[in-house]
Amino acid sequence: MFQKVLIANRGEIALRVLRACKELGIQTVVVHSTADSDAMHVRLADESVCIGPPPSRESYLNIHQIVAACEITGADAVHPGYGFLSENAKFADILAAHNITFIGPSGDHIRIMGDKIEAKRTAKRLGIPVVPGSDGAISDEKEAKRVAAEIGYPVIIKASAGGGGRGMKVARSEADLEVALQTARSEAGAAFGDDAVYIEKFLEKPRHIELQVFGDGAGRGVHFGERDCSLQRRHQKVWEEANSPALNSEERARIGGICAKAIADLGYSGAGTIEFLYENGEFYFIEMNTRLQVEHPVTEAITGIDLVHEQIRVASGGGLSVRQEDIKFNGHAIECRINAEDPRTFTPSPGTITHFHTPGGLGVRVDSGVYSGYRIPPYYDSLIGKLIVHGRNRVECMMRLRRALDEFVVDGIKTTLPLFRDLVGNPDIANGDYDIHWLEKYLAEDD
Ligand code: ADP
């Protein structure tokens, strides 16, 4: 087991990882920017190192400073959290070259999954169902027309180097294709410096369902069931639940089995999430995230397994603590992302939190790094906390969520709490009857 882990992140996830390390008896080092000197993760860590000024590229993304902090403090491993350097293959390689363990998969696995075309090809080879489409980047309009005619309209043109939902264009007929292709290409070129694009069948009303997987790096793979993250705004997840209201246990076991086998065959090490669009009973792979996800606590709630413990165990060579047959799905869990944002326009609302009171009681978990009197710096993501509620079934979970939301007080800034108080009383949400467009439509109607 590691002696000392450096946490290369901030906010609630830094605290989340810190808690897991403490439970495992591992010393913790955190790095922070000058804007985060007062942050909770800095206060609670055994050691802290200031690595630079507020902008992320000069601090949380500064590989040299982070490696130097490891050397100074004698950390033998780094947990990257999510975002920042968590999917940076070069960072994983550099740590390996310095004999520091990256708590995550190999640089090569990160690289494969970071290239969307390569990821899709790999998924297909491993027997994971993918969206019908071009087999790689398309060279010209003629090829685009041929592929689109084969798979049928509507189609979506996506950037190979894509991310954050940018560089995507839908064509509903051959007449739209030329313009869609050109726009997607120029947007991709401008955003990613790479204008390679590919074509996929456009799914009209899918759900976003993702499988939590783990590999032990020695040929064993398991799945921890799915999360339904269909409630999104501008491709950002807002509310996540496990299990998905749309899946039954046979479907879960089938897709889970496919994913676990793929992870084993890949020789993958650590936590991963295989993301699918799901429509009419079919799964379509869109991408794999090679890290811990923001929404991992809903999986922890229904399985009772600490996924960060598992990450640390696997990275230290101790293997997984569970076999597939040990993983049971118990009840239902929902996570609400509490952002420092206007609940309707989602514009950021940084400032000082004058009062912060979190709900408690059976089945209620709050992961947050903020406190009364905390000043939210304007430089980073607006997530200030996550409310995760568990119940024996979805109805109990929703009732508990409603009362937990009533208890939650955040004064001094705007947050997304009022949105969740509306959602929890909505009949479609109560019935689990929503797709990836539901929230955007709901917000537009409400204006
Ligand atoms: P990014 O890496 O840019 O986030 P993804 O491939 O993960 O791109 O897709 C982001 C979102 O775009 C999906 O969650 C979904 O809402 C939409 N999307 C992507 N591919 C399709 C498709 N083939 N049909 C319909 N919607 C899609």
Mind listing the pLDDT tens digit for each residue in 348-373?
A: 999 999 999 999 999 999 999 999 99
Tell whether ligand 1 has an atom less than 6 A from the beta carbon of residue 208.
yes
pTM strictly above 0.75:
yes
Query: How far is the centre of ligand 1, averaged over its atoms, from the C-alpha of 225 (Å)?
Result: 21
Same domain? For 55 and 18 the reply is yes
Tell whether ligand 1 has an atom less than 6 A from the beta carbon of residue 435.
no
Same domain? For 192 and 222 the reply is no
Q: Show the domain range for 192.
A: 132-201
Is 111 inside a domain boundary?
no
Report yes or no: 85 and 75 within 8 Å, Cβ to Cβ.
no
> Looking at ligand 1, which residue's alpha carbon is closest to its atom 8?
165
Same domain? For 304 and 235 the reply is yes
CATH number at residue 186: 3.30.1490.20
Tell whether ligand 1 has an atom less than 6 A from the beta carbon of residue 132.
no
* Domain end call among 201, 231, 252: 201
Is 125 inside a domain boundary?
no
Cα 222 from chain centroid (whole Å): 18
CATH number at residue 61: 3.40.50.20
Peptide bond into 243 cis (omega under 30): yes
Report the nearest atom of ligand 1 relative to the CA of 131.
23
Same domain? For 266 and 293 the reply is yes
Query: How far is the centre of ligand 1, averaged over its atoms, from the C-alpha of 156 (Å)?
Result: 9
Tell whether ligand 1 has an atom less than 6 A from the beta carbon of residue 200.
yes
Same domain? For 355 and 227 the reply is yes
Q: Tell the residue number behind the tokens 């309707």, with chain if given.
A: 344
Mind listing the pLDDT tens digit for each residue in 121-139?
A: 999 999 999 999 998 999 9
> Looking at ligand 1, which residue's alpha carbon is closest to its atom 10?
165
Is 109 inside a domain boundary?
no
Tell whether ligand 1 has an atom less than 6 A from the beta carbon of residue 156.
yes
Beta strands in 71-220 (DSSP E): 77-79, 101-102, 155-159, 169-171, 197-201, 207-216
Same domain? For 148 and 48 the reply is no
Is 425 inside a domain boundary?
yes
Is 122 inside a domain boundary?
no
Mind listing the pLDDT tens digit for each residue in 298-322?
A: 999 999 999 999 999 999 999 999 9
- What is the rounded CA–CA span in Å between residue 125 and residue 121? 6
57 secondary structure, DSSP code? G
Catalytic residue of the set 16, 252, 291, 313: 291
Q: What is the pLDDT of residue 447?
A: 63
pLDDT of residue 166 exceeding 90, the answer is: no
291 catalytic residue (yes or no):
yes
Q: Tell the residue number behind the tokens 């009364």, with chain if given.
A: 372
> Looking at ligand 1, which residue's alpha carbon is closest to its atom 23?
202
Is 302 inside a domain boundary?
yes
